[in-house]
Every structure is written in C-alpha cells, then in structure tokens.
Structure 1
Amino acid sequence: MRSSRRRPLLVPVLVCAAAVLAARPTAADGEPGDGSAAESGLSTRVARLYEEAAVATQKYEAGQREAEAARGKARKLEELLGRERRETAALRDDLGRIARAQYREGGGLPVAAQIILADDPEQMLRGQHAFAQAQLDLDTALGKSRRAEARLAADESRARSAWQGVERRATELAVLKKGIEDKLDQARWELQGQADASVAAGACRGAVRLVQPAAHFSQSWVAPVETYTLSASYGSGGARWANRHTGQDFAVPIGTPVRAVGEGRVVRVSCGGPFGIEIVLRHPDGYFTQYAHLAAVTVDQGERVTAGQWIGQSGTSGNSTGPHLHFETRVTDRAGSAVDPVPWLAARGVSLG
C-alpha cells in the first residue's frame, strides 16, 4: 500500500550556493579514481537552483497570500461600491422628485406669486421661507449627488488598479517560478546523465563537495531526506525484485540532498549493479544503512559523518524506474541482511508515518 508523508520544505530553503572543494576521488567500491570538475559544477548548479527554486516558490506563495488578501479587500470594496451605487441611485431619485415637483408647480412661480400677493408680512415671510427651503433642498441634493458620483468613480478606479496590480504580480511570480523550475529540471537530468555514465563504466567520479549550511538537530537520528513521499515499502512484492523489496523508497526529485540518518563511517561507495550509485554507512550500534540509486556522492569511503550531514544527491541510477532514494537498514554491510527500516527508525525517534 502506498503511503505518503510531506515534510516542511526545509532542505531546499537551506541549500546555499555550493562551492567545490578539493576532494579525494573514489572509484568503484572506494578505489581511487579521477574526479570530474564538470560533474562537481553540475551538482553545485543543481544545489544552487534548488535554493533559487525554493526562494521563487516562497515568493510565489507569498504573492498568492497577498493576492488572497487583496481579494478580501476587493470584496469589501465591492460591498462599499454597492452601497455607494445604491446611495447615488437614491440621490438621483431625490433630484427627480424635486424636479418633478418644481415642474408641476410651474418652476417656482407659485411660490413667487405667493410672496408678491401676500396679504400680510407673515404670509410673505412664509412664502420666502418655502422658496428658500426648496432651493436649499435642491442645492443640497445636487451637491450630494455630485460628491457621491465622484467618490464612486474614484473607488471604482482604485478597485480596478488594485486588481490589475495583483494579477500582474501573480503572473510575474508564476513566470519566474516556472523559469527556475525548468532550469532545475534540465540540470537534474544532466546530473543523472553523468550518473548513468558512471554506472555504465562501473567507476565513481569522486565525491562532490557541497557547502552545507550549519544545522543543529535536537535528535541523534533523522530521516534520510527532508521532503518526501513514501513509495515502495519493505517486504512489498514486484517484478523488479528477485524476492521482496528490501528497503523503504522515498520518492524525491533528482538532486535532492540525501542525509546520513545518524553518525557513522562510510564503509562503501560504489557505482554499478542494480543499486546504481550507492553509499553504505556503519553506525556505532553496529547497524548499517544503505542509500541507493543516487545521482552523486558527497563523501569518500572511510570518512566520518554526522547525523543530518549531506552524503549524496538522489537520482534514478541502476535498477530504478523513476527518481527516488532507496534506503535500507542492515545487520551487515552487504545485501541480504536487511531489516525493516521504518520501525528501526521509529525506535530511534524518527517517525516516517
């Protein structure tokens, strides 16, 4: 049964611009060989592009959050515009009523006649007051209508500008993100091509030294990759294996940094065979862990490693149908001695659930 677990996108965010350092090269099973500057540079480029893709993704997601916030503001503004439209319509109705009333009354002549024909001063004053009030009502209604129309036009313009800005920003971020991801995808497959050449030759090109950011882990054991989907599990059947699957697979893109699950020593780095490019570590408790189908290695045979240290980059070398990390725990350094890695890691505080 296929299960999945998404970890926070920490590794890509932590990936720094990598630098290539002098390294003691290795060949098949740790024999000395010739390192490749081209391969080192490509691994470095993949690592750098991971960082750029992570930053672009963060910006894109921030842009999406900004767009959602802008949508919320726009919805509120639309509600405001709706009220303003209703108020403007009401003011227009008021102006219509006033105009119709004046038309029925002869455009104000009855009021003027009332003033001229008044029999006494009090009646004349009432006529003057009525005339003045009618004119005031008309002026007030006209002023309100003009202000409401101007406010409505300004708010509608502001709403259009806000939406255009949000859409423009979202498009720019999407284009940037896709461009970097396309470059990363191309670099990944170039890296895999070099790995396939190494496997075909049966000789590793040598450790690629990537600058890893300082990381402080609260536990002595960690998962072999940071972000992953669990695929084939220990003991599962399939046509690709002679008997049963001997490890736990982590579906990850080519070039993903692979970490030592705990401190230990590199007892084997080899290229060729069904596992492709692989690394085997021996841990202080006597157990061994294997990391297979890699695209590159970043450690040499005999080297000491710490928990969480990058030891390679994932790939799809050897007997592999797609990019993933094949991870095993063993009682010896050789195939055929594997134990289920999921409970083994769980007993050490690492849950893959």
Structure 2
Amino acid sequence: MRHGPRRTSTSLVLPVLLCALVALGGPPTVSQGAEGPEASADVARLFEEASTATQRYEAGRKAASVQKAEVRTMERLLVRERRQISVLHDDLGRIARAQYRSGGDIPLTAQMLLAGNPEKLMHGQRAVWQADLALNNAVDKSRRAERRLADGQRRAADAWRSLKERNARLVILKKGIESKLEAARWQLQGQADTSVAAGKCRGAVRLKEPKNSTTRAWLPPVEKYELSAGFDSAGERWSHRHTGQDFAVDIGTPVRAVGAGRVVSVSCGGAFGIEVVVRHPGGYYTQYAHLAAVTVDQGQKLRAGQWVGQSGTTGNSTGPHLHFEVRLTPYLGSGVDPVKWFAERHVKL
C-alpha cells in the first residue's frame, strides 16, 4: 500500500524521481528483451556491486582522512626542518667568518715562520682544525636536512596526488554501478508491471544469495530501510486504515523472511501487486507486498533471513517500498501492529 511521508535520505530519492518522471511522461525507457530471471539476477548482482562499491568508497574516505592528517603532520615537520636549515646556515656563516679572521688560507708552515710564538700558533691551529671539523659537520648536517626536506616535500606532494586520484576513481566507480543498477531496476519493474497487468505471475526466480550467517530467530524484512507509513495510519490510498508497516527501499532490494516458516501463497494481482504470504510457527502470518519479483514457490519451507523476493512498486503504490504485514490469518483484515509484534521478539525497527 502507499507509504506516507518519509525522512529525507539520499537513498530514498527514487519516489521523488518517480513523481518528476510522471510529469515528464513516465520512467526512462529500458530494454524489455531480457527474461524476468535475468533482469532479477542483474539487479541482485548490481545491488551487491553497489553495496561493495559503497563500502570501498567509505573505506577510501576514511583512509583519505587518515592520509590527510598524516600529510598535515608531514607539513608541520617540513616547517621545522626549514627552521633547522636556517639555523645551520647561520652557523656556517659564523664559522666561515671566524676562520677568515684567524688566518684563512695561509699555509701552516708560513704562519709558523711568521709567528713570534709557534707554540701559541699550534694551539691556535688546533682551534682552527676543530673549527674546520665543526664546519664540515655543519655542512653535512645542512645537506642532510635539505635532502630530508626535499624528500618530505616530494612525499607530501605524492600523498596529496594519490589521495585525489583514489577518491576520483572511487566516485566514478560508484556512479557507474549506480547508473547501471538504476536502469536494471526499471527493467525489472517494467516486467513486473506487465505480469501484474496480465494477472499472470512469472514464477519464482532463483538468485544467488549471500551466505546466511544469522543466528537470530527474527529479523526485519529488509536489511537497510527507513520506516514510512505505519500500522493503522490514515491515508487516501486505502479505504479504511493502513494495515501494515511500510519500509522505504529502492526497487530490487532483497526482501527476506522475518523468521522460519512456509510459503502459503504467491500472487500478483490486486492492490498489493506481487505478494508473498508466509506462515510461521505459533500461528502468525507475514505478508510481503508490492514486490517486483519473487524468489520462492508456494509450499516452500523457509529459514529466517532467506530471500522471498525483490522490492518494487507494483499494485496500489505511489513509489518503491515494501508493504509488510503481520496477520492472525492469511487474509487481509486480521493484521496486528508489526512494530509491537517485532518488539515482543526483541527486534527494534
């Protein structure tokens, strides 16, 4: 059923895009040549690729922050190196001036012949030698500092360049996958609309699911979402009150069984569009509606977290979302509040 006002999110721009596209004459045209299973598989594959790309982007963004901090530290060290070089240059000038005053380049033998006190001259010469040693050490130290400075400047420039190039590559990769995913989602939704209009379900598609490692008995029907229209809320798109909880997600989002159970029905007509109903131990039933595709058959036994389909916007829906219900019977009108039902099972929506 229709979902109500939702919070602003970059992952939820599709409903707004839908409205804009209606005003412009409908969604983008995509190829209808692929069969349903292929379209569903493309969406599932691209969905995982987009998720991986997003994770890589976030990891790169965090690494970039660390690298930026390292570069700033490096630049502070370079400032200190420049100060040290300046001090060394002053020392070199002072030593050179002292040597010039003490005799400069006059040979030692000539100085001894001219000196009135050779012993005093030798004592002074030792001081000159020490000054020469200090000068040489200062020159070497200055050169090492200058090499460190040049190397640090080069590494800082390389780090900044690497940072910018990596971020640019991640942005391009992410946008490319998201563009392909958007087209694949519309193709999947177009095929779903065709099957609903014909009143003929396309049957279950078999998708490669990620390894299910959950040990939880109960979990939300989608992994990442925002809640929109809630149970028993008013709305112009339903005759009385809203009978379930809506999860705002994009077309093609994997929809999973909230707990272990068995599929009691799969249908694709009416206000709910493509839908699946599952019976759980204890007598409760869950409904997953407005799907773009189903991945299970009637009578199939399910484990918690197993995919039952892919979200869409079939039936009486104004935008992509999952309409989810918890019922006392398989039929409409026996619903209970999903939020409270989940809370009793230690699941917070």
TM range (shorter): 0.7 to 0.9
Q: Equivalent residues in 2 for 1:7-86 (5 A)?
A: 38-86=35-83
Which string of whole-angstrom CA distances, capped at 9 and with x for unpartnered residues, describes residues 100-140 of structure 1? 5566778577x999755432232221332343334333333
Counterpart of 1:63, as a letter, is: G
**Partner-residue secondary structure (3-state), 1:191:** helix
Determine what percentage of the aligned residue pairs are the same residue: 61
Alignment correspondent of 1:20? none
Checking the alignment, whether the CA contact within 8 Å between 2:99 and 2:128 is kept in structure 1 is no
Equivalent position of 2:146 in the other structure = 149
Aligned equivalents of 2:110 and 2:238: distance in 1?
110
Match of 1:123 in 2: 120
Aligned equivalent of 1:87: 84
2:342 to 327, 345, 349: 345
Q: Which residue of 2 aligns with 1:303?
A: 300
Aligned to 1:18: none
Contact 1:112 1:131 in 2 (8 A): no
Q: Equivalent residue of 1:328, what SS?
A: strand
Gaps of 5+ in 2: 10-32
The counterpart of 1:280, out of the listed 277, 282, 285, is: 277
Runs of 4 or more off by more than 4 Å in structure 1?
Answer: 1-4, 99-109, 111-117
> In the alignment, does 2:284 pair up with 1:293?
no
CA shift, 1:315, in A, is 0.8
The alignment covers a number of residue pairs equal to 322
Instruction: Determine the structure 1 residue equivalent to 2:248.
Output: 251
Distance 1:343 1:3, change over 3 A: farther
Give the secondary structure class of the aligned counterpart of 1:269.
strand
Instruction: Give the superposition deviation at 1:143.
Output: 2.2
C-alpha distance in structure 2 between counterparts of 1:287 and 1:123, whole Å = 110
TM-score normalized by structure 2? 0.82
Cross-structure match for 1:325: 322
d(CA) in 2 for partners of 1:246 and 1:255? Answer: 23
Superposed CA RMSD in Å reads 2.8
Instruction: Tell whether the 8 Å contact from 2:277 to 2:330 is kept in structure 1 after alignment.
Output: yes
Give the corresponding residue for 1:182. Answer: 179
What is the Cα deviation at residue 44 of structure 1? 0.7
Distance in 1 (CA, whole Å) between partners of 2:80 and 2:168 is: 32
Q: State the TM-score, normalized to the length of structure 1.
A: 0.82
Superposition map of 1:94-113 within 5 A = 94-101=91-98
Which is further off, 244-253 or 280-289? 280-289
What's the CA shift string for 1:141-165, capped at 9, x where partnerless?
A: 2222222112211121122122222
- CA gap of 1:37–1:282, structure 2 versus 1, over 3 A, is farther
Tell me: CA distance 1:123–1:290, structure 2 relative to 1, closer, same or farther (3 Å).
same
Q: What's the offset of the Cα at 1:37?
A: 6.9
Q: Distance in 2 between matches of 1:141 and 1:120?
A: 31
User: Are residues 1:223 and 2:220 paired?
Assistant: yes
Measured in 1, the distance between the counterparts of 2:210 and 2:146 equals 59
Equivalents in 1 of 2:300, 2:290: separation in Å?
Answer: 20
Partners of 1:53 and 1:252 in 2: CA distance: 14
Q: Displacement, 1:219?
A: 3.0
Task: Select the residue among 189, 194, 201 that pairs with 2:191.
Answer: 194
**In structure 2, do the counterparts of structure 1 residues 322 and 113 end up closer, same or farther at CA, with 3 Å as the change threshold?**
farther
The alpha-carbon distance between structure 1 residues 217 and 66, as it changes in their structure 2 partners (threshold 3 A), is closer
Q: Secondary structure at the match of 2:195?
A: helix
Q: Which residue identity lines up with residue 235 of structure 2 in the other structure?
A: G
AA of the residue aligned to 2:80: R
Write the distance in 1 (CA, Å) between the matches of 2:155 and 2:339.
56
Gaps in structure 1 of 5+ consecutive residues: 7-35
- Structure 1 pair 37/268, CA: closer, same or farther in 2 (3 Å)? farther
**Which letter maps to 1:287?**
Y
TM-superposed deviation, 1:43: 0.3
Task: Give the Cα separation in 2 of the matches to 1:65 and 1:215.
Answer: 28
Q: Tell me the SS of whatever aligns to 2:176.
A: helix
Tell me, in whole angstroms, the C-alpha distance in 2 between the residues paired with 1:130 and 1:284: 98
Q: Which whole-Å CA distance do the structure 1 matches of 2:161 and 2:269 have between them?
A: 55
Q: Distance in 1 between matches of 2:323 and 2:42?
A: 24
Q: 133-142 or 113-122, which moves further after superposition?
A: 113-122
Structure 2 distance, partners of 1:331, 1:42, is 34
C-alpha separation between the residues in 2 aligned to 1:107 and 1:121? 17
AA partner of residue 256 (structure 2): R
Q: What is the rounded CA distance, in whole Å, between the counterparts of 1:293 and 1:69 in structure 2?
A: 44
Partner SS state of residue 200, structure 2: coil
**Aligned mates of 1:174, 1:158 — CA distance in 2:** 24
Q: Deviations over 1:178-198 (max 9, x none)?
A: 211211111111111111112
**Cα distance between partner residues in 2 of 1:300 and 1:339:** 25
